[in-house]
Structure 1
Amino acid sequence: MLFSLFKFQFTTRDTEEKTLEELVMEIQIHQMDELRNHLLQKYRSFISKSVSRVCQRYIDPSVDDEFSVGLEAFNEAISQYSPEKGKSFLTFADMVIKRRVIDYIRKECKYDQSISLFHQEGEEGEEYRPYEIRAAILQYQMDSDTVKRKEEIFLLQEKLKDYGVSFMDLVDEAPRHVDARQNAFSIAKLLVEDHSLKQTFLHKKRLPLKELTKKVELSRKTIERNRKYITALALIQIGDFPYLRSYLTGLERS
């Protein structure tokens, strides 16, 4: 262990003088675990970007399982890389990451396992079948979006309870006319953007009806009639509800 650490310290001093490919080969030949871990940490951003390109969305290394798949793939690439194939290490690592993440996506979205996402072609090995990859990723994104929407709905339900509102209330009491829904959205937006009103709303767990009446051209009775709907709209805008918030775009007046 001590000898391995010494080798790592010696190597890191002249890392600037060595190519990444040379460092990878040193890891393979001398089993330098410390240097391997150093590269895994140094190239986390590269791994995250590579995984994000496959998944077509931002990947959070601290949350998303896909990043762990990419990290393992990068580690695998360190062990399997050979300069004789004529590729740079990062090009090779990017290819391995893509393959492993696509395999993960296929598994998660239960894509047809009888269809390979690759086909054999020459010495370069497996090549992508773009239409199959797009199909797998699309299904994966749909499944992922469905799960996240369900999570947001559950979280919103919990927050609404603090305000004495249920989802059934929203179904039964939501405004029927577009103008009424737009008015409710405007009030909720005003509430969210006004620091004092928002703090009252969050701390007292109720709409500040008296204060709102002074700021909008609607009667207190009208606001009170749509209280539960306005409450839900405000909570969606305040909280971390990107999927639910996307449904509100049509309510904002041009």
Structure 2
Amino acid sequence: MKRDRDLVARVLAAKRDPRCADDLVRDYLPFIKAETAKFMGRSPQQGRDDELGIAMFAFHEAVLSYDRARGAFLAFASMSMRHRLLDFARRERRHADVISLDERRPDGGEGDERALVETIASERDELDERQMREASRQEIAQFAAELESFGLTFLDVSENCPKQQRTLEACQRVLDCARKNPELLDRLLQTKKLPMAELARGAGVERKTIERHRRYLVAVLLAFTNGFEIIRGHLRRIVPAGGDGR
């Protein structure tokens, strides 16, 4: 816990001082390389692989955009790097697509050929889908680990979801209240307990409703405080935007 607090203090200092930011990137270069290696499937070579530079830039971006409501910094930075690397890979493929679109290749039948442009869309879609599946798998595994630190599992959350529309709306008010008050999210992450009294008062929801759906509320708030972009994308359909629009 002290190490996490020390890191957050360094990140907040780096937001104000470029030299501190440079020091942080240098000190966490092994972490950045490890995250890049997960994406590439091999160790990146400094000065040769563009992916490492992209990841370092994304780490620096994460430093500048971080606030404590986003939860653990390294989880947030990891997500930021993965999304930047995905964007970079897609841009590289689009650039490669333009080089020789009229080139023809065998189509599998006797003497049949198709122009490269006719095969690009399906191949690109397949690669995008594979990368998105892998990104989703990693994010779900990381989210499961976060839930475990709160003594929760996906089954616990599933069984604790609100069943009635009125209850769902009450839970939405609680979530909106928490996201508009970062100090409550900080307390959740530090104590591993939902600040029920403050949430009940701020959202105008009975405390017994919050207690009954505590596991569901904790899980959704974790997703919105730790940079789980893919999971958050699904949750936006049921969770109203908070005051910061995240």
TM-score by length of 2: 0.53
* Distance in 1 between residues matched to 2:238 and 2:91, nearest whole Å: 40
Contact 2:158 2:216 in 1 (8 A): no
Q: What does residue 203 of structure 1 align with?
A: 190
* Distance in 2 between residues matched to 1:244 and 1:157, nearest whole Å: 12
> Relative contact order (C-alpha < 8 Å, sep 6+): which is higher?
2
* Distance in 2 between residues matched to 1:68 and 1:251, nearest whole Å: 31
Give the SS at the match of 2:104. Answer: strand
Q: What does residue 242 of structure 1 align with?
A: 229
Contact 2:174 2:205 in 1 (8 A): no
Kindly state the Cα deviation for residue 101 of structure 1 after the two structures are TM-superposed. Answer: 10
Gapped regions of structure 2 (runs ≥ 5): 1-46, 55-79, 106-113, 242-246
* Distance in 1 between residues matched to 2:235 and 2:197, nearest whole Å: 25
Structure of higher CA gyration radius: 1
Q: What does residue 173 of structure 1 align with?
A: 160
Q: Which amino acid aligns with 1:201?
A: L
Contact 1:182 1:253 in 2 (8 A): no
Contact 2:224 2:232 in 1 (8 A): yes
Identity of aligned residues (%): 18
Kindly state the Cα deviation for residue 146 of structure 1 after the two structures are TM-superposed. Answer: 1.2
Q: Which amino acid aligns with 1:159?
A: E
Give the SS at the match of 2:236. Answer: helix
Q: Which amino acid aligns with 2:232?
A: R
Give the alignment of 1:76-225 within 5 angstroms. Answer: 98=96, 118-119=103-104, 129-225=116-212
Contact 1:118 1:129 in 2 (8 A): yes
Q: Which amino acid aligns with 2:226?
A: G
Kindly state the Cα deviation for residue 189 of structure 1 after the two structures are TM-superposed. Answer: 2.9
Question: After superposition, what is the alpha-carbon deviation per residue over 1:1-34, rounded to whole angstroms, capped at 9, x for unaligned?
Answer: xxxxxxxxxxxxxxxxxxxxxxxxxxxxxxxxxx
Question: CA 1:101–1:184 in 2, change beyond 3 Å: closer, same or farther?
Answer: farther
Question: After superposition, what is the alpha-carbon deviation per residue over 1:30-66, rounded to whole angstroms, capped at 9, x for unaligned?
Answer: xxxxxxxx9x99xx99xxxxxxxxxxxxx96997399
- Which stretch shows the higher mean deviation, 202-211 or 243-252? 243-252
Gapped regions of structure 1 (runs ≥ 5): 1-37, 46-58, 72-93, 103-115, 121-126
Question: CA 1:69–1:130 in 2, change beyond 3 Å: closer, same or farther?
Answer: closer
Kindly state the Cα deviation for residue 192 of structure 1 after the two structures are TM-superposed. Answer: 2.4
Kindly state the Cα deviation for residue 152 of structure 1 after the two structures are TM-superposed. Answer: 1.1
Contact 1:213 1:220 in 2 (8 A): yes
Q: Which amino acid aligns with 1:215?
A: G
Contact 2:176 2:240 in 1 (8 A): no
* Distance in 1 between residues matched to 2:194 and 2:214, nearest whole Å: 7
Give the one of 206, 211, 215 matched to 1:228. 215
* Distance in 1 between residues matched to 2:217 and 2:84, nearest whole Å: 32
Q: Which amino acid aligns with 1:156?
A: F
Question: After superposition, what is the alpha-carbon deviation per residue over 1:69-104, rounded to whole angstroms, capped at 9, x for unaligned?
Answer: 999xxxxxxxxxxxxxxxxxxxxxx99x605999xx
Contact 1:61 1:67 in 2 (8 A): no
Q: What does residue 80 of structure 1 align with?
A: none
Question: After superposition, what is the alpha-carbon deviation per residue over 1:140-180, rounded to whole angstroms, capped at 9, x for unaligned?
Answer: 11111111111111111111122221111012221123443
TM-score by length of 1: 0.51
* Distance in 2 between residues matched to 1:237 and 1:152, nearest whole Å: 13
* Distance in 2 between residues matched to 1:66 and 1:185, nearest whole Å: 32
Moved beyond 4 Å, runs of 4+: 59-63, 65-71, 99-102
Q: Which amino acid aligns with 1:168?
A: L
* Distance in 1 between residues matched to 2:219 and 2:145, nearest whole Å: 11
* Distance in 2 between residues matched to 1:134 and 1:211, nearest whole Å: 52
Q: Which amino acid aligns with 2:134?
A: V
